Amino acid sequence: MINRRQTLALLGAAAATTALPFAAHAAAESPKTLRIGWQKNGVLALAKGNGALEKRFEQRGIDVSWSEFSSGPPLLEALGAGAIDFGPTGDVPPLFAQAAGGNLVYAGTYRGPPAGSAILVHKDSPLQSIADLKGKRVAFKRGSSAHNFTVKALRTAGLAVTDIVASDLSPPDAAAAFTAGQIDAWTIWDPYFAVAEKRPEARVLATGKGVVESWSFFLSNGDFAAAHGDVLTDVLDELALVGRSAQDNLDETVRILAKITGVPEDIQKVVLTREGADLGRVAGVTPEAIAYQQALADEFFDLKIVPKKLNVSDIVWRAKQA
C-alpha cells in the first residue's frame, strides 16, 4: 500500500473554475512578508516551485514564506489565528472554521475533478458496494472534503454517517491504518488516491464522479484581506497565470511536480489528466461558488455535523475597484 513517508511527500492536482480577471484593489501599505500555507497541491505548489510569487512581489519588497499542512482543517486553524495569511482548502473545512469563529474569508476558488476522490477498500475485501459499508470502519479526515464525499456516497445507498464506524484520521495516519488492516475503507483525494490505486493491495469501491462536486477555495486571514486586498488580487492573478501556463505544458508540469514532491511522474500524470482537471481554472468567488457552499453549510447543519447555522456570504472577500 502506501507508507507514511510517501503520504507526507504527496502533492495533488488543484483545479478550479475558469480563470477570471481579478479587480484592481486600492493599494495599502504593503506587508513585509506574505505567509502562505500550502498542502502541496497543484497550482500553489507550482508557484512555490518556480518562485512565481516571490518574483511578483520582489519589486514591492514583500517576502514570501511557506508553511506546509497535510489537510485543510489545521491550515484554516492557523489562518484564522493569524499565523498565516493565505492558503487553499477543500469545501468542508471553511464551514467548521467559520462555525468556530475563525477570522478568515473566502478569497478565490478552483475546481478539481470529482473522480479525483475515492473510497478505497482492500483488494480481497468482501465489500462490493457502498451499501456494504454499513457497520464498517471507514476512515476520513473529519471536516475535510472527504467528509463531504463520504456523506454523499453513503446517501446514494440510503445510509448515513451514523451507519458506519467513522475514524477521524489524517491522510498519513489513514494510509498507515489501511495498510495495517485497521480500517475497512478509506475516503481520500488525489494524489493519495492516485498512489493507492496503483497498488495491488487496494481496490476502488467508488469515486466522486456523479456523486459530489469538487469545489475548493483559497482563503485569507480576515485582517490581512482587509488591510492588503491589493496583495490578494496579485496572488490570485499570479496563480491563474501559473495555472494556465502549466495546463498548456502538461508534460513539463508533470516533471516539475514530480521533482517538487518526489511523487513518480506516472502518478502525477494520472492526477493531472483526470476528467475535468484544469490547473488554469483559478477564479474569484462567484455567485455559483457561494450558492454551492451555502447549500453544503445548510446540509451539514441539518445533519448536526456543523454546530451552527452559517451565512457563507458573511465571510466572502470581494476585491474593491480602484
pLDDT digits (tens, 9 = 90+) for 218-233: 999 999 999 999 999 9
Q: Which helix (H) or strand (E) holds 301?
A: helix 287-302
Place of cell 484592481: 24
Topology alike, domains 4-112+214-315 and 114-207: yes
Query: Where do the structural domains in the chain lie, given as residue ranges?
Result: 4-112+214-315, 114-207
The string of DSSP letters for 148-195 reads HHHHHHHHTTT--GGGSEEEE--HHHHHHHHHTT--SEEEEETTHHHH
- Distance CA(130)–CA(81), nearest Å, equals 38
Q: Could you tell me which of 296, 125, 311, 160 has the C-alpha nearest to residue 215?
A: 296
Tell me the per-residue pLDDT of 164-201, one tens digit each, with 9 for 90 and over.
Answer: 999 999 988 999 999 999 999 999 988 889 988 888 88
Superfamily of domain 114-207: Periplasmic binding protein-like II (3.40.190.10)
Q: Give the C-alpha distances (Å, rounded to integers) separating 204 from 61, 101, 116, 168.
A: 48, 37, 12, 20
pLDDT in tens, the chain (322 residues): 444 333 333 323 222 322 333 433 444 588 999 999 997 778 998 899 889 999 999 989 999 999 998 888 899 999 999 999 999 998 999 999 999 999 999 999 998 889 999 999 999 999 999 999 999 999 999 888 899 999 999 999 999 999 999 999 998 899 999 999 999 999 998 888 998 888 888 999 999 999 998 899 999 999 999 999 999 999 999 999 999 999 999 999 998 888 877 788 999 999 999 988 889 889 999 999 999 999 999 999 998 999 999 999 999 998 764 3
* CB atoms inside a 10 Å sphere around CB 173: 17
Question: For 4-112+214-315, CATH number?
Answer: 3.40.190.10
Residue 157 and residue 155: Cα distance in Å, rounded? 5
What pTM did the predictor assign? 0.81
